[in-house]
A = this chain, B = another copy of it.
C-alpha cells in the first residue's frame, strides 16, 4: 500500500483536506498529459500505477480522476478502463489567426450566421473603432462549429465601409479575418486581446450546447489593419471544454 507523501503540510491540516489538495495536485499533472494527447489512443494507466507514479494513495488517485471526470475530460468504461472523451484544441496567441486557419488540421469550421447587417454603433463601440458618435456599423453574429459541434459564439462589429462588402461573401465557411484581407486587399496587423473566465448564462449555454453555468472563455479582441486602423471588434464566448489558449511570453 502506498501512502500520501506530501511535504510539510504547513497551514493545511486534517486528513480530508490534505487528500483534496493532493488530488488537485495529481489531477493538474494528468490534465496536462490529456491536453497534450498522451492518452488519445490508449486508456489512462490504472489507479495502482497512477498511485505509484505520483506517490499517492488509491483514494487520492480516485479523487483526482473524479475531478477530471467532473470537467468532462475522462470517463470510466467497464472492461476498458478510464479513457479521454474530450478533445481540446489550442488557439495560439503568438500569431493573429482566424479559427478556421488555426484548426484546419483538426476539421472543418462552419459558421451559422445568426444575424448580419447594419446597426447604430453604441458609443463605446464607435469610439474603439475610431468612428463618429452615432455611426452605422456592420454587426455579425455567428455560432462557430468545428466538425458540427459548437465551439464559440462570436459577436462582431465592423466599420460600415469595411464590413458591408463582407455581407456578400461566404460568411458560412470563411473566417472574417481572411475575408477582410481578401476583399480589401490589405493585411491585418494585429490585435489587442482580453480574456476572462465566465459562467455561461442560460441562453448562451443553450446555444453552445453546454450545461448552464459551464465555464466559458470570454474574449474581447480588437483587430487592426497593418496601417493601425481598428477594423474588427469582437466578443467571443469559447466553450471552456473545447479550447485552450496558448502563448509564449518573454521576460525582457
Residues of A within 8 A of B (CB): 5-12, 17, 20-21, 23-26, 28-29, 32-33, 35, 38, 53-55, 67, 70-71, 88, 90, 93-97, 112-120, 122-125, 139, 141, 155, 187-199, 201, 203-204, 213-217, 220, 226, 235, 238, 240, 243-252
Closest to A240 in B: B197
- The reply to whether A217 and B193 form a contact with Cβ atoms under 8 Å apart is no
Residues of B within 8 A of A191 (CB): 248-249, 251
Contact of A21 among B114, B190, B240, B249 (CB under 8 A): B114
- The reply to whether A96 and B249 form a contact with Cβ atoms under 8 Å apart is yes
- The reply to whether A123 and B193 form a contact with Cβ atoms under 8 Å apart is no
- The reply to whether B114 and A190 form a contact with Cβ atoms under 8 Å apart is no
Contact of A155 among B25, B71, B199, B247 (CB under 8 A): B25
Interchain CA distance A20-B203 in the complex, whole Å: 7
Interchain CA distance A116-B53 in the complex, whole Å: 20
Interchain CA distance A26-B9 in the complex, whole Å: 48
Interchain CA distance A226-B251 in the complex, whole Å: 9
Select the residue from A70, A90, A247 with max chain B CB neighbours within 10 A: A247
Interchain CA distance A21-B237 in the complex, whole Å: 13
Select the residue from A25, A226, A249 with max chain B CB neighbours within 10 A: A249
Interchain CA distance A26-B134 in the complex, whole Å: 16
Residues of B within 8 A of A196 (CB): 88, 217, 240, 243-245
Residues of B within 8 A of A116 (CB): 7-8, 10
* A249 with B122, Cβ < 8 A, contacts A116-B7, A215-B198 known: no
* A125 with B188, Cβ < 8 A, contacts A21-B141, A115-B8 known: no
